[in-house]
Structure 1
Amino acid sequence: MPVEPAKKVEVTGNRIQQIVSESYNKYGNLLSHLSDKLGIELAASVAVLSVESGGVGIDRGRALIRFENHLFYKYWGKFNEAKFRQHFQFAASKNWLGHKFRKDPDGEWIDFHGDQDKEYEALNFARSLDDEKALLSISMGLPQILGSNSKLIGYDSVQEMFENFNKDIRYHIFALFDFFSPRMIKYLSGKEFVNFAKYYNGQGQARRYGKFIQDYYEAFPKNLG
């Protein structure tokens, strides 16, 4: 099945409207097919992907990733405290913030989120410490699904998920719908975006992400609704 829709929409408007239109133009056909199967409005599915990754799943031949220091601490660092603290930092109160990395224990700390080369530098260093635990600690691709959910979406290993996400954007889109729980489907189809975000993004960021999804949903081209 083609990923792209047969008919594209014009990319105009503000940045959010442009991202939504670009996401539809790249993935709209497959998204429409899978959304219909689950009773989810296409605009809502496009909004989720647009919020999670800006509609970009593969960057220069690599899956878009975000390396989460606090998760690597959970899976590996707390058992190797001294080594972890030499190379990774995160905020104590809100552990998804304050992420810094340095390869050299005596080097300067760097902020690496938002730069895929630096994200991969952090990931590759972490993989040299523990390959599986490092991959469990990243969110991947268009839907930014954590490696720790690899078995939930049907993979035998997180390495298999990572390899497939680097191969073909279709794996990203199928993973999104495989990841949706009945509760997520209920809230997304009902346009209860904050409640959806509680389960997709976590309680701590539900209001923030729910508002983002609402904004992107409203930016979806009305002639496609």
Structure 2
Amino acid sequence: PENTGVGYNAVLTELGNHDVPQGWIQTPHPNTTPGTNPGPPVSWNDPSNPDDPQAGYGYIPNDTTREETFFYHSDHLGSTSYITDDHANITQYDAYLPYGELLVDEHSSSEDLPYKFNGKHFDEETGLYYYGARYMNPVTSLWYGVDKLTEKYPTVCGYVYTLDNPVKFIDEVGYKPSLSALRKAAKKLGVELSVIRAVFQTETGGQTYTKDGRIKILYERHYFSKFTHGKYNKDRDISAPTPFKGKTHKEKGKEVATPEIDQYGNPSNQYRRFEKAKKLDEEAAYSSISYGSFQIMGSNYKDAGYKSAKEFGDAMFSADEDKMLDAFTNYISANHAMRKALLNHDWATFARLYNGPSYKDNKYDTKMAENYKIFSADPFKGYKESKIKIPSR
């Protein structure tokens, strides 16, 4: 309609407004309204100070006769959303369908900057994105050319982009998808993505949530006893100088049954104990449980980037896995010895620092080493069950 002046049906033909309905693909066009920016209104920082955007990656156009510098502002997938000039004016706005097809492409500058979906170069002549190993067609949602690793992953179609999940996954080079949030965390810590997946798998079995949909927590009564100076030790269910154990434990080299009062028990027990302890000392209770994907203790709230154990706990209880991942990267970044152990694949040292001196009882170090080997060999491990096929269009 915006090109032909004819509406979507006979009724609309008689009307004067032929604007493209919200959600329909628009033909890329320059922003022609004087004094306005491309795209919807944006507040970069405080609403009272919208003229101070935080610059992203710099870009200098090929035309060196004009001294212009542009800055990219991207989303969690690295896709360009806004571009600003060196005076913080918005010069370009891009929005995409899930596989990178341009939904909106508006620019007020004479420069139409080419780095768009995933930060990849968009070839206007062919309509393809270049990823290094091959090209991707955002309209068909498929790669041009088969994945060079296709023989390693017989259950995954070699032409499908990022396991058919372009919102959570990104493919930086054209043949190896990875979770965008995990990729970002791995880059921040300077480790392989398989290292982070190994820690996640070891700590929670790769599951962030319980069967009833709550995040996994583990209540540690010896922490609560320590933080409350043994004040509530009469109730061994929530406070004792010794930690909980599994259903069995070793005593003098022999495997013996653990009394029920000393067992961790099921997920409901963890929440019941936490609520019970919270009524006695809220901050101590929040400090005495480990949370979510990476089971970070609440007592480590400062290193995780929070002001109090309660603030940290409430953020984890929001069930936002990105917050859990950010807490993990903050925690590791704040502990040089832990980060060094991860970089060196020194699983015993990392497990001792991360899980405590009793790490050997649960074989944390050997489990992490095994999981690292698994994820290093197969980056798709855990996602094969989707049985992905070529999508029909």
Bin of the TM-score, shorter chain as denominator length: 0.7 to 0.9
Cα displacement (A) at 1:112? 5.8
1:166 aligns with 2:317: yes
- In the alignment, residue 219 of structure 1 is paired with which amino acid? I
| Counterpart in the other structure of 1:19 | none
- In the alignment, residue 330 of structure 2 is paired with which amino acid? D
1:213 aligns with 2:368: yes
Write the distance in 1 (CA, Å) between the matches of 2:265 and 2:245.
Answer: 13
Q: Is the 8 A contact 1:61 1:166 kept in 2?
A: no
1:197 aligns with 2:344: no
Where 1:224 maps in the other structure, the secondary structure is coil
After superposition, residues 149-188 of structure 1 pair within 5 angstroms as 149-167=300-318, 168-180=320-332, 181-188=335-342
Write the distance in 2 (CA, Å) between the matches of 1:43 and 1:214.
Answer: 11
Q: Is the 8 A contact 2:224 2:238 kept in 1?
A: no
| Counterpart in the other structure of 1:103 | none
Question: Among 108, 123, 127, which residue is 2:274 paired with?
Answer: 123
Q: Is the 8 A contact 1:112 1:119 kept in 2?
A: no
Q: Is the 8 A contact 1:88 1:99 kept in 2?
A: no
Q: Is the 8 A contact 2:305 2:331 kept in 1?
A: no
| Counterpart in the other structure of 2:184 | 33
Write the distance in 2 (CA, Å) between the matches of 1:77 and 1:151.
Answer: 21
| Counterpart in the other structure of 1:78 | 230
Write the distance in 2 (CA, Å) between the matches of 1:72 and 1:206.
Answer: 23
1:45 aligns with 2:196: yes
Write the distance in 2 (CA, Å) between the matches of 1:120 and 1:111.
Answer: 16
Cα displacement (A) at 1:63? 2.4
Question: Among 61, 68, 71, which residue is 2:220 paired with?
Answer: 68
Q: Is the 8 A contact 2:287 2:309 kept in 1?
A: yes
Deviations 1:166-196, CA, capped at 9 Å, x for gaps:
2211111111111112221111111111111
> Is the helix fraction higher in 1 or 2?
1
Deviations 1:135-165, CA, capped at 9 Å, x for gaps:
1110111110001011221111111111111
Q: Which runs of 5+ in 2 are unaligned?
A: 1-75, 78-98, 100-151, 156-167, 170-177, 248-258, 381-393
Where 2:293 maps in the other structure, the secondary structure is coil
Moved more, 143-152 or 198-207: 198-207
Cα displacement (A) at 1:200? 1.0
Write the distance in 2 (CA, Å) between the matches of 1:54 and 1:35.
Answer: 19
After superposition, residues 78-97 of structure 1 pair within 5 angstroms as 78-82=230-234, 84-85=235-236, 87-88=237-238, 95-97=242-244
1:142–1:216 distance in 2 versus 1, CA, 3 Å: same
Where 1:162 maps in the other structure, the secondary structure is helix
1:201–1:98 distance in 2 versus 1, CA, 3 Å: closer
Where 2:218 maps in the other structure, the secondary structure is strand
Write the distance in 1 (CA, Å) between the matches of 2:360 and 2:368.
Answer: 10
Q: Is the 8 A contact 1:126 1:134 kept in 2?
A: yes
1:128–1:47 distance in 2 versus 1, CA, 3 Å: same
Write the distance in 1 (CA, Å) between the matches of 2:214 and 2:197.
Answer: 21
Write the distance in 1 (CA, Å) between the matches of 2:186 and 2:337.
Answer: 15
Write the distance in 2 (CA, Å) between the matches of 1:38 and 1:65.
Answer: 25
1:224 aligns with 2:379: yes
Q: Is the 8 A contact 1:65 1:141 kept in 2?
A: yes
- TM-score where L is the length of structure 1: 0.75
Write the distance in 2 (CA, Å) between the matches of 1:162 and 1:97.
Answer: 21
Deviations 1:24-74, CA, capped at 9 Å, x for gaps:
98x832111210232101111100011111122233443210000111111
- Fraction of identical pairs, as percent: 29
Bigger radius of gyration, 1 or 2? 2
Deviations 1:96-127, CA, capped at 9 Å, x for gaps:
34489xxxxxxx96566352112101111111
1:44–1:73 distance in 2 versus 1, CA, 3 Å: same
Q: Is the 8 A contact 2:209 2:216 kept in 1?
A: yes
Aligned length: 196
